[in-house]
Amino acid sequence: MQAFEYVAAKSISEAIDLLSERGDQARILSGGTDLIVQVREKRRSLELMVDVKQIPEVNEISHSSADGLVLGASTPCYKIYNDPDIKSAYPGLIDAVSIIGGIQVQGRASVGGNLCNASPAADSTPALIVLDATCVIAGPSGTREVAAKDFCTAPGQTTMENGEFLTSIKIPTPDTNSSSFYLRFIPRNEMDIAVVGAGASVVLDESHKSFVSAHVALGAVAPTPLYAEEASNLLSGQEISDEIINQAAEAAQAIARPISDMRGTANQRKHLVGVLTRRALNGAVNRVKETK
Amino acid sequence: MSKKTHVQTEINGEGIEFLCEPRQSLLEVLRDELHLTGAKEGCNNGNCGACTVLMGDRIVNSCIVLGVEAEGEKIETIEGIATSEGLHPIQQKFLEHAALQCGICTPGFIVSSKALLEQNPTPSEEDVRFWLAGNLCRCTGYHKIVEAVMDAAKALNTEVADNA
Amino acid sequence: MPEDKEFKVIGTRPIRHDGIDKVTGRAAYGADIHFPDMLHGKVLRSPYAHARIKSIDISKASSHPAVKCIITSDDLPLVEDTITELGETVINLKYLSDNILASDKALYKGHPVAAVAATDPYAAEEAINMIEVDYEILEPVLDVRQAMEPDAPVLHESLKTESMGKGEDQSQNVASHSQRKHGDLEAGFAAADIIVERDFSTATIHQGYIETHNATAQYNEDGELTVWCSTQGAFGVRDQLSKILKMPVSKIKVVPMEIGGGFGGKVQVYIKPIAALLAMKTRKPVKMTMTRTEVFEGTGPAPGSYIRVKLGADKTGKITAAEAHLIFEAGAYPGSAVGAGSLCIFAPYKIDNLQIDGYDVVLNKPKSSAYRAPGAPNACFASECVIDEICQKLDMDPIKFRLINGAKEGDRRCDGPIYPKIGYLETVEAAQQHGHYAESIDKTPNGKLRGRGVASGFWMNGGGRSSVTINVNADGRINLIEGSTDIGGTRASIAMQAAEVLGLSSEDIMPAVVDTDSVGYTGVTGGSRTTFATGIAAINAAENIRAQMIGVVANHWELKPSDVKFKDGTFLAQKNGEELQMTFKEVAAVAGGPLVGSVTASPGGAGNGFATHIVDLEVDSETGKVDILRYTAIQDVGRAIHPSYAEGQVEGGVAQGVGWALSEGYLYNDEGHMTNASFLDYRMPTSYDLPSIETVLVEVPNPGHPYGVRGAGEVPLVPPLAAIANAVSRAIGVRMTELPMSPDRVLEAMGSI
């Protein structure tokens, strides 16, 4: 493993200064479950790791009626799924953070890190996209916000510039009669990277017979996690039926442009997009019905 | 060799200071600098759990934690599980159930299982199997490990009841 | 051997002697070794699957301030291109040496090319990247059938096909072709009412031991080399080091540390000679450990294979003829397990007309190595799947088919020997009577597809040399000194046999696995031989001690030794109408000095192992994913010394079989680079992928062992592949012939993608 320096920043501004100084030779260290492995396996080189786990804002969970849930970017998965409020309001996010790596990885890995690593197969990103999450980015010229669906730009690349880093993720308070669901397909039952991932969120009418609105997002079928806009839009106002869910699944399949690699073939992935989209939507719908 | 950092931490209840390079993992520090070799390296990328240690209130793969990140933390390793009173019930049940063959994954399984039973004193078989999925064992097929953990839960609960 | 004998220790489940060290983290494994002044070694490996090494320039790397030594194949002694005996096998020395450090050609990605010793591991890693190697890249060949084509890239210009039988061998990459036949094949097939013929393929598979290879070497000024390491057999390491380094065995001491799994993969040496050479050149202790990727890319996996099986049966279900072609990946150098596979393929059955052809083919993958019943899982996958298809076509219960055709005492195995008392049919009967088999399964609950599979398996089991020394302490407890590495509880299973002879408890025995200077020659912990062969050595040593103690007692009582009896740990005699008795501990105290019994044994008669497995599983018809619902493994172990550890062997074998069947396998790109060389993407089953595994130990005592022991460690990996394939095939209604049955392959078979 190459040598590098390590600084545990105490404030957002200190972290920004360090990042600005070193440009692409500095990286934020959050849970380290991707970063440390990448440096060790020579897939990434750097001079400096900036640990942000001592910066309070980056590690807190807060709820407010204005912002909804504000999730410090470094909050590890286990803190998220042990939070009863997140559990009840954002079950799709819980689905995702409960299956990232093993329990050991969940003790460190964060949703912010999952986003910034920008893997097309990141489990939490589709879950955040369907929850309409916003990424809060701090930088030398202040703070800006980017929708989770626009955060990743290519494998390993994000919208962030040198000197910027992700401090928190804001997720709006869900509507009544809504729920969310995330699932992935992997060959084993745990410990794999998604062959395909699918997240869905739904808002149903009072009677739970129709969709008021829905969102679908996909993982591992394009260079970035994808928001399935057409699939999402076509559900709005429609009565819940296998037929309409199948149509959404087909629309999701239409935007998937998967590759073949050691985790799955393009054909298999395309096929799975349909299966998982259906299961994610049905899962979210059933959750609304169950909480009646 | 690059510049070393001074780190102050607590390991198995003892205050410990050490010097390490930022690139050294907590696992390397434990094994190579502190000679606590109970945590094992199986994959060095967070996929086998042989290096599992407790860090604060959660388990981590010490191969993907930097040694410098231990500053101010509380670490517990396999060496800290048995006490002067004797083996921990999980260790005892691993022996009774023959839940180990070669033993290389055993420290990781015991540390993981201890964390599980502290959070969930009455896990189902499904809970145990899910929790331990981050620990690979190639010898046992997990059957006896799962039995041992379930039985340890029972023993710990009896202990708690007896003390009450 | 008394079948109705009441055992005191055998069959009980005491806590293993090394248990506390292993649950507290105190047990010392190879990588736990530390010397204050040690150097760290690292290997430079070929980035190409097939390349000629034109030159190696170490000048830049040598200038690294932390580097103490760099070696290439030039630093290895020149060894002859000859076949030589090595321990219990034969091997070509040139191939052995070239696999340690490539000389003229790199034959797989990961093939060692040079090695460095430096003052810290990071520096060693930096330095290997400063070594400049000029390669001429050659076209790799990665599939055995392609490697057999006449125009395939040739790995070894000097390789000549060894052929027995009529086969015309197409390419220089065919290292050997063997043939076994008896009866009249043509007549056999003519007599068949039904014939099934199919091609099967299996992926290259890794043993997947959790501990990576390691070695620490020290060379003294007097020319004595010591190597601390993880190995299945310290004497085997000593033999290999002796040949590769051209040193007398007596100058080499190998210290077997605790071993973190082997399964056959820790017999062959890889970095041990490199650590030794670096230590010899630097006169400092040199420690080396492999990364997980190095283990996948640079150590011997189990061979991938193509197998064609043709089987004929009459309407009653009697097999009339069987034919098989087995083509195994040897890897970069000759020597796959095709021979053993050929021997095992039809071994559970009595077949009068058969022919088995085996091909050993080199290609640009790491030299294949042993993995639990080497060759048999591949072979029996093919044969047991064809049998299942015949059963389906005959509408016959697969258990009944096996009862009709199963081999028993007096039947002839395909390679000649007549079976002694074996327990195959007993495993089939136990399967038939088991509650699992009696309970039917719901084939299509809520849209999922379910299936049940049955398969049997065979492994020869081994004997060979083992040595044991027993020292009796004055307090009556005994030290049992042995040379068998304990991978899965053999300290206990060996000590218990000695305890049984001496009327002691398991806890009275203190077993110790020692180095090659401290015990007589002992073969590897492999071949399912340890509890059998080292067990016999322990029994013999204990009997020797018992005889000595009878002498001590006789002296003490002033009687003849023949007047003294021994029962349940007590020495008894009658003298002048008086009943005399002394306990083992009392005699030990009276003996006044240590009593020592040293024995070496080389027993034959290992007694063959058979198993029959039943599995229920569910296929998700939309994703192709298979979930194991219930698994029952039935095995004849002869006699279970410590039933928990015998069960453990079975449960572990089943888990590995599930991986082999469903999710494991080397994946390669066109350049011959493995694309899944990590525990993330080489998918071994986790605890969450498996159900509880029910083990049924059948005990048909082996006449070749005083207590009836048969080897137990290997045969449990033989049936799972076919059992699972048969269940998947029955669930989806399509015959699966390719392993692993990954979800995409299942979807393809179902026509979904």
Q: pLDDT at position C169, please?
A: 53
Torsion of CA B88, B89, B90, B91, to 10 degrees: 60
Please tell me which chains touch C, using 3 or more CB pairs under 8 Å as the contact test. Answer: A, B
E strands, C73-120, where?
83-86, 89-92, 105-106, 112-118
Phi, psi (rounded to 5 degrees) for C70: -130, 135
User: Which of these ranges, C410-419, C527-536, C697-706, has the smallest mean pLDDT?
Assistant: C410-419
- CATH ID of B5-80, from 3.90.1170.50, 3.40.50.450, 3.40.640.10, 3.10.20.30: 3.10.20.30
| Rounded distance between C-alpha atoms, residue A109 and residue A232, angstroms | 29
The alpha-carbon gap from C681 to the nearest alpha carbon of chain A, in Å, equals 7
Mutate to test the interface with C, among A196, A262, A269, A277 (most CBs of C within 10 A): A262
Two tokens at A249?
Answer: 């699944």
The alpha-carbon gap from A256 to the nearest alpha carbon of chain B, in Å, equals 29
Of A4, A33, A41, which has the smallest distance from its Cβ to B22's Cβ?
A4
DSSP state at residue C622: T
Contacts B65 to A, Cβ<8 Å: 32, 36, 108
pLDDT at C167 over 60: no
Q: CB of A3 within 8 Å of any CB in chain C?
A: yes
Question: Domains, chain A, ranges and CATH?
Answer: 5-51 (3.30.43.10), 56-171 (3.30.465.10), 178-290 (3.30.390.50)
- B105, C291: Cβ pair inside 8 Å? no
Q: How many CA atoms lie within 13 A of C320 on its CB side?
A: 18
- Categorize the per-residue pLDDT at C170 as very low, low, confident or very high, splitting at 50, 70 and 90: low
Q: CB of C204 within 8 Å of any CB in chain A?
A: no
Question: Domains, chain C, ranges and CATH?
Answer: 19-27+463-601 (3.30.365.10), 33-138+211-260+266-298 (3.90.1170.50), 305-461+607-749 (3.30.365.10)
- A105, B134: Cβ pair inside 8 Å? yes
- For the CA atoms of chain A, what is the radius of gyration? 19
Note the pTM of the prediction, 2 decimals. 0.97
- A103, B112: Cβ pair inside 8 Å? yes
- Per-range mean pLDDT, top range of C75-89, C442-456, C472-486: C472-486
- Categorize the per-residue pLDDT at B77 as very low, low, confident or very high, splitting at 50, 70 and 90: very high
pLDDT at C4 over 70: no
Q: pLDDT at position C1, please?
A: 40
- B106, C687: Cβ pair inside 8 Å? no
Chain B and chain C share a number of CB contacts under 8 A equal to 189
Q: How high does pLDDT run on average in chain C?
A: 95
Of A41, A49, A191, which has the smallest distance from its Cβ to B22's Cβ?
A49
Helices H / strands E in chain C, number of each: 20, 29
Mutate to test the interface with B, among C642, C687, C690 (most CBs of B within 10 A): C687
Candidates C348, C327, C354, C349; CA nearest to C339 is C327
Mean pLDDT, residues A174-199? 97
- A192, C680: Cβ pair inside 8 Å? yes
Q: How far is CA C275 from CA C71, C189, C212, C222, in A?
A: 10, 56, 15, 18
The alpha-carbon gap from C671 to the nearest alpha carbon of chain A, in Å, equals 14
At A215-228, the pLDDT tens digits run 999 999 999 999 99
Scanning C22-61 for CB atoms below 8 A from B yields 22-29, 31-32, 34
At C106-121, the pLDDT tens digits run 999 999 999 999 999 9
* Amino acid found at A91: P
Chain A and chain C share a number of CB contacts under 8 A equal to 56
Candidates A160, A195, A224; CA nearest to A24 is A160
What whole-number percentage of chain C has pLDDT above 70?
98
Q: pLDDT at position C168, please?
A: 53
Q: What size, in residues, is chain C? A: 753
At A74-102, the pLDDT tens digits run 999 999 999 999 999 999 999 999 999 99
- C753, A271: Cβ pair inside 8 Å? yes
Cβ atoms of residues A133 and A169 within 8 Å: yes
Contacts B107 to A, Cβ<8 Å: none
- Categorize the per-residue pLDDT at C5 as very low, low, confident or very high, splitting at 50, 70 and 90: low
- Categorize the per-residue pLDDT at C3 as very low, low, confident or very high, splitting at 50, 70 and 90: very low
Mutate to test the interface with C, among B54, B138, B140 (most CBs of C within 10 A): B138
pLDDT at A138 over 80: yes
The alpha-carbon gap from B8 to the nearest alpha carbon of chain C, in Å, equals 23
The alpha-carbon gap from A155 to the nearest alpha carbon of chain B, in Å, equals 20
Mean pLDDT, residues B12-20? 97
Q: pLDDT at position A95, please?
A: 98
Q: pLDDT at position C160, please?
A: 82
Q: pLDDT at position C165, please?
A: 54
| Rounded distance between C-alpha atoms, residue C686 and residue C683, angstroms | 9
At C469-528, the pLDDT tens digits run 999 999 999 999 999 999 999 999 999 999 999 999 999 999 999 999 999 999 999 999
Of B22, B66, B134, which has the smallest distance from its Cβ to A102's Cβ?
B134
Cβ atoms of residues C693 and C614 within 8 Å: no
- A108, B2: Cβ pair inside 8 Å? no
Mutate to test the interface with B, among A29, A75, A104 (most CBs of B within 10 A): A104
| Rounded distance between C-alpha atoms, residue A184 and residue A181, angstroms | 10
Q: pLDDT at position C2, please?
A: 43
Interface of A with B (CB under 8 A): 1-6, 8, 29, 32-33, 36-37, 39-41, 49, 51, 53, 76, 78, 101-108, 189-191
Domain ranges of chain B: 5-80, 89-163
pLDDT at C20 over 60: yes
CB burial of residue C136 (10 Å; 0-12, 13-18, 19+): exposed
Contacts A105 to C, Cβ<8 Å: none
- C688, A190: Cβ pair inside 8 Å? yes
Cβ atoms of residues C299 and C60 within 8 Å: no
Of A185, A188, A263, which has the smallest distance from its Cβ to C623's Cβ?
A185
- Categorize the per-residue pLDDT at C593 as very low, low, confident or very high, splitting at 50, 70 and 90: confident
The alpha-carbon gap from A36 to the nearest alpha carbon of chain B, in Å, equals 6
| Rounded distance between C-alpha atoms, residue B34 and residue C616, angstroms | 48
In the beta sheet, which residues pair with residue C674?
C668
At B18-40, the pLDDT tens digits run 999 999 999 999 999 999 999 99
Phi, psi (rounded to 5 degrees) for C577: 75, 0
Mean pLDDT, residues A13-22? 97
- B133, A190: Cβ pair inside 8 Å? yes
- What ipTM was predicted for this assembly? 0.98
Cβ atoms of residues C529 and C462 within 8 Å: yes
- B23, A1: Cβ pair inside 8 Å? yes
Q: CB of C209 within 8 Å of any CB in chain B?
A: yes
| Rounded distance between C-alpha atoms, residue C366 and residue C330, angstroms | 8
Candidates C685, C689, C743; CA nearest to A185 is C743
Mean pLDDT, residues C694-719? 97
Torsion of CA B70, B72, B74, B76, to 10 degrees: 30
Q: pLDDT at position C91, please?
A: 80
The residue written with tokens 């598979």 in the block is C205
Domain topology for B89-163: DNA polymerase; domain 1 (1.10.150)
Mean pLDDT, residues C22-36? 97
- Categorize the per-residue pLDDT at C700 as very low, low, confident or very high, splitting at 50, 70 and 90: very high
At A253-289, the pLDDT tens digits run 999 999 999 999 999 999 999 999 999 999 999 999 9
pLDDT at C683 over 90: yes
DSSP per position, C502-514: HT--GGGEEEEE-
Of A191, A195, A270, which has the smallest distance from its Cβ to C686's Cβ?
A191
DSSP per position, C359-370: EEEE-SSPPP--
Q: pLDDT at position C742, please?
A: 98
In the beta sheet, which residues pair with residue C313?
C194, C319
Contacts A197 to C, Cβ<8 Å: none
Q: How high does pLDDT run on average in chain A?
A: 97
| Rounded distance between C-alpha atoms, residue A234 and residue C587, angstroms | 91
Of B91, B95, B129, which has the smallest distance from its Cβ to C687's Cβ?
B129
Of C651, C653, C684, which has the smallest distance from its Cβ to B144's Cβ?
C651
DSSP per position, C642-674: SHHHHHHHHHHHHHHHHHHHHT----B-TTS-B
pLDDT at C147 over 80: yes
pLDDT at C85 over 90: no
Instruction: Supply angle C-alpha C683, C686, C691, rounded to 5.
Output: 125
Cβ atoms of residues C605 and C490 within 8 Å: no
The residue written with tokens 């260790």 in the block is B91
| Rounded distance between C-alpha atoms, residue B141 and residue C687, angstroms | 7
- C625, A190: Cβ pair inside 8 Å? no
pLDDT at C197 over 60: yes
